[in-house]
Amino acid sequence: MRTRAIYGCAGAELSADERAFFRKTRPWGFIVFARNIVDRDQLRALTTSLRETVNDGKAPILIDQEGGRVARLRPPHWRERPPAARFGALYGENAEAAREAVYLNARLIAHDLAEVGLNVDCLPLLDVPVEGADNIIGDRAFARDPATIIDLGRAAIEGLMEGGVLPVMKHIPGHGRAAADSHLALPRVATGAEELSATDFVTFRSLAHCPVAMTAHVVYEAIDPQRPATTSPKLIRDVIRGEMGFDGLLMSDDVSMNALSGPISVRVKASLFAGCDVVLHCNGKMEEMREVAEEAKPLDGQALKRAEAALAHLSEPTAFDPGAAAARLHSLLGASA
C-alpha cells in the first residue's frame, strides 16, 4: 500500500539510499526541482527510476512549471514560458484572446512535461494579490480581479488536462494577502471572513472541480487564529471542504518551509490530522524524509478514494500540433506587447 507522502530527491539521479527508502516507504508520488534536471534524456531516466521504486509506471511525478519566475524546465533545453500576469494584461484588452493564449500555453507546458515523464503540474495559481502584499505571489497571479483569475484559471486547467497532465490549484484558500513569504515566515491575514469569501476564496470555490489542490501555509485570523490552513481542521473542514465544496485530493504545501514550526514529524502529523490527504516534502534531505515517513500513514479510506479519483482524470493527450500552437501563442502575445 502506498503512503500519504510526496517526496523530492537530492540530485540528478537516485542514490542507493534513496532507492531503498522509496521502495520501503512507497510514497504516493514524487516532485522534481531544478537541482534534479540536466536535460531531457537525464530527466526521463530519473522519472523512470522514481516509478520503478514504487513499481508503478503511472505514479504521480510533480513539478512547479508555472512560467516566469517559477519554472524548473528552462532554456536551453526548454522554451521559456511567460508569467501569469502577462495573460492577465492581455485579458484586459481581449478576453477571448487571453483565454486561448492561456489554454495554448498550458497545452505546451503539458507537452514538455509528458515528454520527460512528468504527469502533474502545480498550476494554476489562483491567488488574488492585493496592494501591499509580499511579492512572493506578484506576477505569478493572473490578475487582482477574481473574475479574470477564474476565467484564465479554467483555461489553464483545461489545457493541462487535455495535454495528459493533472493540474494542482494553489494555494488554497488563498495566499494573495500574505505580507510574508511562507518559505521564510508564517504569514497572518487579519481580513474578515466575509471579505475573504467574496475575494480570496471565490476563485477556488468557482474552480472546485480541479482534481488536486495545494494548501496555503497562511493563518486566517477570522477563521482560525492559531493555525495556518495546512494544519487547521476548522479551515479545511469548514472552508475548503465546506464553503468551497472541494472534494478533490488535498495536498499540503511543502512541510519543510519555515512558515511551519516544530519537528518535521509533528508538522506531518498535524497536516494529516487537519484533513490533508497527502503531505509534500520537497528538499530531498534524507533525515527529514525519514521523519515524514514516521507519520505518513498508509493511503486508505477517503484519502485513497480522492487520490484514485484524481488519477482517473489522467488520459492520453488529445490531438495537438506543438509547432502550430507555439506560433499561435506567439501571435496572441505579440499582439498585446
Orientation angle between helical segments 146-162 and 95-115, nearest 10 degrees: 40
Domain hosting residue 20, numbered range: 3-336
**For 15, which DSSP code?**
-
Looking at the predicted structure, is the pLDDT value of residue 135 above 90? no
Looking at the predicted structure, is the pLDDT value of residue 85 above 80? yes
**pLDDT value for 180:** 80
Closest of 91, 68, 70 to residue 145, by C-alpha: 91
The answer for 92, left when phi > 0, alpha when psi is -120 to 50, beta otherwise, is: alpha
Closest of 152, 205, 196 to residue 176, by C-alpha: 196
Number of domains in the chain: 1
**pLDDT value for 337:** 42
Q: Locate 64 and state its grid cell.
A: 512547479
**pLDDT value for 241:** 98
pTM higher than 0.75 for the full model? Answer: yes
Identify the band that residue 336 occupies on the pLDDT scale cut at 50, 70 and 90. Answer: very low
Residues with a catalytic annotation lie at 183, 253
Average pLDDT over residues 131-140: 88
Q: Which CATH number does the domain housing residue 84 bear?
A: 3.20.20.300
Cβ–Cβ under 8 Å, residues 251 and 279: yes
**pLDDT value for 132:** 84
